[in-house]
Structure 1
Amino acid sequence: MDPISLIIAIPDRSRRRRVVQSIGSSPHIRIMAETPDLMTTFAEVEERQPLAVLIDGSLARAPEFEVMRALFAALDVRWIVISDAPDTGSRIAASPWGRTSDLFAVAADIAAEPLIDHLRSVTRTARRNGRAEPPKAPAIPRSDEAHDRRRSKRFVLIGASTGGVDALLTVLSTFPADCPPTFIVQHTGGGFGESLTRLLDRQCQARVRPARHGDHVTHGEVVVAAGSRAHMRLAGGKPMRITLEPGTPISGHMPSVDAMFDSAIPGAKRVVAALLTGMGRDGAAGLLALRDAGATTIAQDEATSTVYGMPRAAVELGAAMHSLPLPRIGPEILRTCREAPSETNRRLATR
């Protein structure tokens, strides 16, 4: 069996070197890189695609690790956290390695031999050959004018925070390559917006790209505002144009979901808006304003939310027409986009 390709991510250089020296000479291990922080680790994992990452618990507890964890899952990379705290199996951020079966913890004082055995065990079912690039759908040819007229006139708004990376992957995985224009605000740490966008683009049929000031967004395109110091607002036009506006946080965040939702009120009758898992209240007031102006609005339900904060606030305000489990949100968005507003109103009235 080939040796396990491994990246070691530990901020403290002395500690990192001790781990490298203790396991680096093993014929079962091939150390591909040593990294001191999350940004460097993400870049190395994305480029080298190791079988496993040995990561310090302090890095794994950072909020930005959510983006990296989704990358690991997409690439079938196992990760092992060096933990000074016991694994509680909790869903909270203090113990992220207790959430799912692809995450593993080892004690900080583990010896070299049991650590190597553990690495061999958890990577046994991981990919062993080639790069784990999922196939992208073939590009849809440029539509003719008649097809353009048959396209939905609606557009999609999505807001998310804690747990939102996995939620976005679930929703966007249902979108076809020629999906309605889609605009996303995801709360994440500074500098991780580009990484998140690349991750979503790798996993989705539609083209996913970062929000840029003045860009126009049309069918088959998803734009993401994340980790930036500006609010994304919709500025109208055909196709829809976006602006990025510096300022102060709204609802405690920048970019803010409320800012995006509020900017879409003039076109609310064409809007399908969803508020996904997240801490706090960002997006709830904006979702209510959109609903009052004629938009179709959706909130993720409590059972499937990592943190039922933002969706709960929306439900309590009466902002959500639907409270849906995560797997149903993508199909509901697409079904609504295929309907004329009058058809949606009739369908809701019969429920």
Structure 2
Amino acid sequence: MNPVRVLIVDDSATMRGLIRFRLRSDPRIEVVGEAANAEEARNLITRYSPDVLTLDVEMPGKSGLDFLREIMRVQPMPVIMVSAETQRGSAAAVEALSRGAIDCIGKPRSGEVNNAFGNLTSLVLTAATANVRSRAEGRAAPVHFTAEDFEWNKKIVLIGSSTGGVDAIEQIIAGLPINCPPILITQHMPAGFLPSFAQRLNSRYGPRITLAEDGLQIQQGTIYLAPGGEYHLQISGGLRPSCKLLAAEKVSGHRPSVDMLFESAVPIAERIVSVILTGMGHDGARGMLALRRGGAVCMAQDEASSVVWGMPRIAWQNGGAQNLVALSDIPAEILGATERKPRPARNAT
């Protein structure tokens, strides 16, 4: 196989050097050029047609976010955002993920230079396989359901996602009413970006979105995001379930892990609706299979609408997912599985 060709875009020579050093450690990756600003990057893209771009969020002149917007409009390609995990930087990174960036990675803090960008090579290799479309092409018009349309049947929704999941989650929440079923989400993302993700969702959509806290009771109309970092998110309790944060090692290669979330709900599987969205790897497939065997409703995002059809594919192949669903149809499927009154069947396409 030909190596994945990468263009590095960052105004800091030091950061470019760290990224270059990390990428060149993997023979499957070739660094074809480096740019300090959008203008240089534009010229190098024309010259080299890279497979993947690493893009600094905050650059002088045209910002990384503005340049990403230009790329996704003119020449969509896999882009990995590089950002400081500050409030400003993480907010911009989350905005970039919503606008079509494949993934984001945090810049090293003081004293972390030796371990800088440790997982960047795997992110680049994943990004090179991604289904990249313009934002307008990739988004279907949302179908909105009002609070009056929905009466909750007490089932709880669990969602797991990774690469491409930020935009997918946003599209799902956009289609839910303010009184949606309670939803717990494990999204693979650096912990420093998750508060900005929750804040962004809260400012745009009806349901309440919050970072999960240990012991926080699960309630209708609230969506709980795994805070990441040192903790896995689990569901605890029977009749009055609550969030549980468990400090433990990585599971299925991740912390937070989708498998940890799904497997924690097996004792109440008949009250669970589980969803696996776009992402690389197999996290969540094992847990979904256990949930399905326990009587849960289990679905996975289909290949056509996934940025990376890895996690959903494995869940489908191992029998965990009962059906494959296009991203634009997932809100209706969730509501149909969690409401008291039956919803009329959609017309076949």
TM (normalized to structure 2)? 0.62
1:205 aligns with 206
Task: Give 1:305 deviation, angstroms.
Answer: 0.7
Indicate how the Cα distance of structure 1 residues 91 and 220 shifts in structure 2: closer, same or farther if over 3 A, else same.
farther
Task: Give 1:61 deviation, angstroms.
Answer: 2.4
Task: Give 1:236 deviation, angstroms.
Answer: 1.6
Indicate how the Cα distance of structure 1 residues 97 and 320 shifts in structure 2: closer, same or farther if over 3 A, else same.
closer
* Structure 2 residues not aligned, in runs of 5+: 1-8, 17-35, 41-54, 72-77, 84-88, 101-123, 137-144
2:66 aligns with 53
User: Aligned equivalents of 2:291 and 2:277: distance in 1?
Assistant: 16
Does structure 2 conserve the Cα–Cα contact (< 8 Å) formed by 1:185 and 1:255? yes
1:307 aligns with 2:341: no
Please list the CA deviations of residues 202-231 of structure 1 after superposition, one character each: whole Å capped at 9, or x if unmatched: 232100011111111201100001542211
2:323 aligns with 322
2:95 aligns with 71
Indicate how the Cα distance of structure 1 residues 195 and 96 shifts in structure 2: closer, same or farther if over 3 A, else same.
farther
1:100 aligns with 2:113: no
Does structure 1 conserve the Cα–Cα contact (< 8 Å) formed by 2:90 and 2:192? no
Residue 305 of structure 2 aligns to a residue whose secondary structure is: coil
Indicate how the Cα distance of structure 1 residues 63 and 271 shifts in structure 2: closer, same or farther if over 3 A, else same.
farther
Indicate how the Cα distance of structure 1 residues 75 and 329 shifts in structure 2: closer, same or farther if over 3 A, else same.
closer
Does structure 2 conserve the Cα–Cα contact (< 8 Å) formed by 1:67 and 1:165? no
Q: Report how many residues are paired.
A: 261
Task: Give 1:272 deviation, angstroms.
Answer: 0.7
Return 199-208 or 278-287, whichever deviates more.
199-208
Aligned pairs for 1:152-167 (under 5 A) are 152-167=153-168
2:290 aligns with 289
Residue 233 of structure 2 aligns to a residue whose secondary structure is: strand
1:265 aligns with 2:266: yes
Does structure 2 conserve the Cα–Cα contact (< 8 Å) formed by 1:180 and 1:337? yes
1:181 aligns with 182
Residue 212 of structure 1 aligns to a residue whose secondary structure is: coil
Does structure 2 conserve the Cα–Cα contact (< 8 Å) formed by 1:272 and 1:333? yes
Residue 185 of structure 2 aligns to a residue whose secondary structure is: strand
Which is greater in Rg?
1
User: Aligned equivalents of 2:317 and 2:130: distance in 1?
Assistant: 28
2:11 aligns with 10
Task: Give 1:237 deviation, angstroms.
Answer: 4.9
1:246 aligns with 247
Task: Give 1:53 deviation, angstroms.
Answer: 3.3
Residue 61 of structure 1 aligns to a residue whose secondary structure is: strand
Task: Give 1:314 deviation, angstroms.
Answer: 0.5
Task: Give 1:151 deviation, angstroms.
Answer: 3.6
TM (normalized to structure 1)? 0.62
Does structure 1 conserve the Cα–Cα contact (< 8 Å) formed by 2:99 and 2:167? no
Percent of aligned positions that are identical: 34
Return 92-101 or 172-181, whichever deviates more.
92-101
User: Aligned equivalents of 2:231 and 2:331: distance in 1?
Assistant: 27
Task: Give 1:192 deviation, angstroms.
Answer: 1.1
User: Aligned equivalents of 1:98 and 1:91: distance in 2?
Assistant: 14
* Structure 1 residues not aligned, in runs of 5+: 1-7, 23-35, 43-49, 77-89, 103-136, 141-149
Residue 127 of structure 2 aligns to a residue whose secondary structure is: coil
Task: Give 1:166 deviation, angstroms.
Answer: 0.9
Indicate how the Cα distance of structure 1 residues 19 and 73 shifts in structure 2: closer, same or farther if over 3 A, else same.
closer
Does structure 2 conserve the Cα–Cα contact (< 8 Å) formed by 1:63 and 1:188? no
Task: Give 1:293 deviation, angstroms.
Answer: 0.2
Does structure 1 conserve the Cα–Cα contact (< 8 Å) formed by 2:152 and 2:180? no
Indicate how the Cα distance of structure 1 residues 75 and 280 shifts in structure 2: closer, same or farther if over 3 A, else same.
closer
What is the identity, as a one-letter code, of the residue corresponding to 2:254?
H
User: Aligned equivalents of 1:13 and 1:285: distance in 2?
Assistant: 41
User: Aligned equivalents of 2:64 and 2:279: distance in 1?
Assistant: 30
User: Aligned equivalents of 2:251 and 2:242: distance in 1?
Assistant: 21
Please list the CA deviations of residues 123-154 of structure 1 after superposition, one character each: whole Å capped at 9, or x if unmatched: xxxxxxxxxxxxxx99x8xxxxxxxxx64211
Does structure 1 conserve the Cα–Cα contact (< 8 Å) formed by 2:81 and 2:93? no
2:196 aligns with 195
Task: Give 1:287 deviation, angstroms.
Answer: 0.4
Indicate how the Cα distance of structure 1 residues 63 and 157 shifts in structure 2: closer, same or farther if over 3 A, else same.
farther
User: Aligned equivalents of 1:279 and 1:14: distance in 2?
Assistant: 26
What is the identity, as a one-letter code, of the residue corresponding to 2:286?
A
